[in-house]
Amino acid sequence: MKKPLLITIPFSHYCDKARWALDRAGVAFDEVGHLPLLHFLPVRRAGGRRTVPVLVTGDGVLDDSPDIVRWADRRAPPERRLLGEIAELEKRFDTKLGPDTRRWAYFHILPRREVLLRFCDDARVPRWERLAFPVLYPVARALMTKAMNINPASTQRSLERIDATFERVGALLADGRPFLVGARLSAADLAFATLAVPTVMPPEQRCPYPALEDLPPEAAGRIKGWRAHPAGEYALRLYREHRR
C-alpha cells in the first residue's frame, strides 16, 4: 500500500504537530516540504485549501492538523494512543496559541533576511525553492506580514495571550501532575508542546532553528524566560521524553 504523503512547511509548528502524531502512531509516511507562499500550488493540487499540513491518504485528504492527529491515533497500537480528545484545551491551543506564537516569531524573524533563510535551508524542500526564495524574499515578507496581520500592536496582543496561556498551563501543572489531564500523553499535551515551539525552541524539534545569539536580544530574552517558566519547561520535557 502506498504510504501517506505529508505536505508541509518544514519549520511550521502545526506541521510538527502532525509529524509527531504520525511518528507516535508508527505510521510510515513520505514528507514533501515547501517554503511559505510556494506551498499554495502543491497544496491545492493535492486537494487541500491553502494551509499546511496536508496529509494525502488512501482514505482521502486531511488538511487540518487536529484531523491528522485523530487519523494517526486511530492507527496507533493501544499503548501509544493519545488520551482521548481534550476538546477545550486542544482547541484553545490550536486556535489561539498557535497563531500567537507564529505571529510573535515572524515579527522578529521576517525583517531579518539571513535568519529567515536559515529556516528555509531544509533538504525536505525542493532545491529550486531554496534557490528562488532569497530572490522572492521582499515580496514574501510583504505578503506574509499582511496575511498574518503582523505589526507592533498585534504582536503585543499576541505576546500577552502567550503569557496568559503559559500561566494557565503552569497552574494546571502546579499540583505535580505528569500531563495536563490524565496519566498519559493527550492530544492537548501534543498540541501545547508543538504550538509552543517558537517560544522555547526545543533541541529535538527537527528543523534548522537559529541559535539564540542570532536572534534580536528582545526575542532571545523572551525565549529564555519562557523556557524557565513551568509551562515552557513542560513543553521542553515533552519533546525530550516523548518525541522520537
pLDDT in tens, 39-83: 999 999 999 998 999 999 998 999 999 999 999 999 999 888 886
Kindly state whether residues 158 and 237 are assigned to the same domain: yes
Report pLDDT for 84. Answer: 59
Kindly state whether residues 113 and 68 are assigned to the same domain: no
Check whether 175 has a pLDDT greater than 90: yes
Kindly state whether residues 221 and 157 are assigned to the same domain: yes
Q: What is the mean pLDDT of the chain?
A: 93
pTM for this predicted structure: 0.92
Handedness of CA 178, 181, 186, 187 (dihedral sign): negative
Give the confidence band of 21 by pLDDT, cuts at 50, 70, 90: very high
Kindly state whether residues 144 and 221 are assigned to the same domain: yes
Kindly state whether residues 93 and 75 are assigned to the same domain: no
The beta strand positions in the chain, using DSSP E, are 5-8, 30-33, 54-57, 60-62
pLDDT digits (tens, 9 = 90+) for 118-141: 888 888 999 999 999 999 999 999
Using the 3D structure, point to which of 80, 102, 122 is the last residue of a domain.
80
Our count of domains for the chain comes to: 2
Give the confidence band of 86 by pLDDT, cuts at 50, 70, 90: low
Check whether 147 has a pLDDT greater than 60: yes
The separation between CA 192 and the C-alpha centre of its own chain, rounded to angstroms, equals 9
Kindly state whether residues 43 and 154 are assigned to the same domain: no
Kindly state whether residues 143 and 167 are assigned to the same domain: yes
Using the 3D structure, point to which of 57, 80, 103 is the last residue of a domain.
80
Using the 3D structure, point to which of 40, 63, 80 is the last residue of a domain.
80
Instruction: Report d(CA 181, CA 186) in Å as an integer.
Output: 7
Kindly state whether residues 59 and 156 are assigned to the same domain: no
Kindly state whether residues 234 and 138 are assigned to the same domain: yes
Instruction: Report d(CA 240, CA 79) in Å as an integer.
Output: 19
Report pLDDT for 91. Answer: 87
